Structure formats: structure tokens, C-alpha cells
């Protein structure tokens, strides 16, 4: 992409981001209820294929497969550290993006309810 992300935002035209990573991975065999984030380390070729498909469809921003990558959602998972998973997710998205798209980190909720403040 030409220029910086901030410069691109100032030209007044919308940016096209990718879509639902989890839904696409389910179509590739991700079992229902399993965390899509784990596939960054367990099935990176599937994650890369989704990024490439979105890029080929015209996405200008690829979101990493890290929506649920936090210690609460991945509690008990022995597949690696969250930092390792996140770094690998960025690598995969960058590989698909090349110089034609930006990569953004996807951050979702923890899934943990917090006690209301008094």
C-alpha cells in the first residue's frame, strides 16, 4: 500500500477490511466450539489460506486471527504462550498482505464477567 495508514484514512474513501475468520475456519473444518485462535499454531496453513482469500477478494486490511487470544479464553490450553500465538498470527497476516494490504490486530472480549464497580 502506498503511504502510511494514517495518510490513507485522510483521503476520504473507505477501506475494505476482511470478514469473519472463525466462520471461514469452520468451513475448513474447525470443530464447533473450538477456538479459532489456536489454529494459528496448530493449523497455520488454514489461517494463511483464509487471509489470502480475503486479500484476493480485495481486502485492504487483514485482521489477525487473535480475537479470542487471551489468558481467560485459552485457559488450560497447552499449545503455547499467548505472545507466541499473537506473534505468529501477525506473521501469517503479513505474509498474505505483502505490500498490498495493512495488518491490524484483532482483539475481542475476555469472556469473563467483571463484578460491577460500587
| pLDDT at residue 1, as a whole number | 63
| pLDDT at residue 118, as a whole number | 56
CB atoms within 10 A of CB 92: 25
Is the pTM value of this prediction over 0.85?
yes
Q: What is the pLDDT of residues 45-98, one digit of tens each?
A: 999 999 999 999 999 999 999 998 888 888 777 666 888 999 999 999 999 999
Q: What is the pLDDT of residues 4-34, one digit of tens each?
A: 888 888 888 889 999 999 999 999 999 988 8
* Of the candidates 71, 74, 67, the residue with the CA atom closest to the CA atom of residue 109: 67
C-alpha cell at position 109: 472480549
Amino acid at each position: 500500500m502506498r503511504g502510511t495508514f494514517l495518510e490513507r484514512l485522510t483521503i476520504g474513501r473507505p477501506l475494505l477490511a476482511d470478514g469473519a475468520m472463525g466462520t471461514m475456519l469452520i468451513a475448513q473444518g474447525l470443530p464447533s466450539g473450538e477456538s479459532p485462535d489456536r489454529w494459528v499454531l496448530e493449523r497455520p496453513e488454514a489461517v494463511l489460506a483464509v487471509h489470502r482469500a480475503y486479500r484476493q477478494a480485495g481486502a485492504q486490511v487483514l485482521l489477525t486471527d487473535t480475537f479470542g487470544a487471551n489468558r481467560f479464553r485459552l485457559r488450560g490450553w497447552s499449545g503455547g504462550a499467548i505472545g507466541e500465538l499473537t506473534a505468529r498470527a501477525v506473521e501469517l497476516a503479513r505474509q498474505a498482505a505483502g505490500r498490498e494490504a495493512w495488518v491490524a490486530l484483532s482483539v475481542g472480549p475476555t469472556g469473563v464477567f467483571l463484578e460491577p464497580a460500587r
